[in-house]
Structure 1
């Protein structure tokens, strides 16, 4: 789980970074001394966890969380003020720590954060390499893996295309890739994973699946040629 430390106090950031580095399940993605810089970074790069101060110049931590839209990292607020707790928990944050942050309190908060993170990762899972269970709106739906023609990354979502329709799941393409059996699927582009057995034709840098064009990037072309074993 990668995390971003956001605090305008350098001592507070240093303390949090040291605590993060002591947890083998955490990767320090970076640090920001204001919420605006953090916002831009989160929009550009996926972040799993925010260790976030509230009172900062310009944009507050609470305002940052409200501005994230479809981005939904796990949030732990770290602040010297108690009066924001009720407002913070309305945002479904994992925890609210009042400074100074002690190792024991940090570990307690991280247990909550990891539990939430694990539950999010269960939105897509494989059962016996035959089905995916995907969260479609508020419904968990079973989808046969053999019905998936290709997966397409679209921002914070992945479209799983079938013959009849597509399903949008809140996930990264990398997370979807590890859930799909390697014996059937292959990445052919930074934004596309295809089921090899569903390919109709290939011409140049494009392949056709169910009358849909899928680009093939040069970096993946050799791997595709090896899998196809063309006569």
Structure 2
């Protein structure tokens, strides 16, 4: 992954630079002292992962992140202020690290970023019969519809759960829903779509699918009751 550090504090930049140097699969493209410099750098060099401070002179990290909302750049915020956490996650960032940055916390955030980066090119192809195609890096795989247990929206990503693993697709839940057969899948929550045939039990506002709890919101419960056959 190509990484860019953006922080007006030279000590913070040095810390991140040292932590990044421990990972051979990460390439530091540049380190910038402000958002304007970072914007220019990203015009000239491809960046996959951005380590972004929030409080900086001129354009803040939050403002820079908003300008990148439609771009394929993963963002990990770094800041001394916890108060920005809610606003930061509204921007669908990978993680939010408070300074001083500890190596263990850095690794946790990096692990999330690597998982998303690995799977970010997974996209649903057109649903045909009993399968859909997904693109995993340079390999196009066929995924049987019947293998899919449920799907969960996670910011700009959708996690597709099968029995023993999941894929993270860079897409909206609505877009994915449109490509799945409505005879098999049903939205039960603003963040969840289920494979109806995979429901094990229904209790109040919760479904159990393969030992996983899936919430059902009030607005979708009536439609769920119509779709399942209760003796």
1:86-114 CA-to-partner distances (Å, cap 9, x unmatched) read 00000111110000001111001101111
Partner of 1:9: 9
Partner of 1:109: 109
For the aligned residues, what is the CA RMSD? 2.7
4+ residue runs over 3 A deviation: 123-130, 134-137
Q: Deviation at 1:119?
A: 1.8
Q: Deviation at 1:127?
A: 5.3
Q: Deviation at 1:80?
A: 0.5
Residues 1:127 and 1:19: Cα distance change in structure 2 (over 3 Å): closer
SS at match of 2:54: coil
Partner of 2:81: 81
Alignment check: 8 A CA contact 2:121 2:170 kept: no
Alignment check: 8 A CA contact 2:78 2:99 kept: yes
Q: Deviation at 1:39?
A: 1.2
Alignment check: 8 A CA contact 1:3 1:47 kept: yes
Distance in structure 2 (CA, Å) of the matches to 1:8 and 1:68: 19
SS at match of 1:28: strand
Distance in structure 2 (CA, Å) of the matches to 1:69 and 1:43: 15
Alignment check: 8 A CA contact 1:39 1:68 kept: no
SS at match of 1:77: strand
Partner of 1:30: 30
Task: Give aligned pairs, total.
Answer: 140
Q: Report the TM-score when normalising by structure 2.
A: 0.55
Distance in structure 1 (CA, Å) of the matches to 2:81 and 2:74: 20
Listed as ranges, the matches of 1:126-165 within 5 Å are 138-139=175-176
Residues 1:25 and 1:83: Cα distance change in structure 2 (over 3 Å): same
Q: Deviation at 1:136?
A: 9.1
Distance in structure 2 (CA, Å) of the matches to 1:120 and 1:89: 18
Distance in structure 1 (CA, Å) of the matches to 2:44 and 2:30: 13
Partner of 2:132: none
Residues 1:46 and 1:80: Cα distance change in structure 2 (over 3 Å): same
Partner of 1:43: 43
Partner of 1:215: none
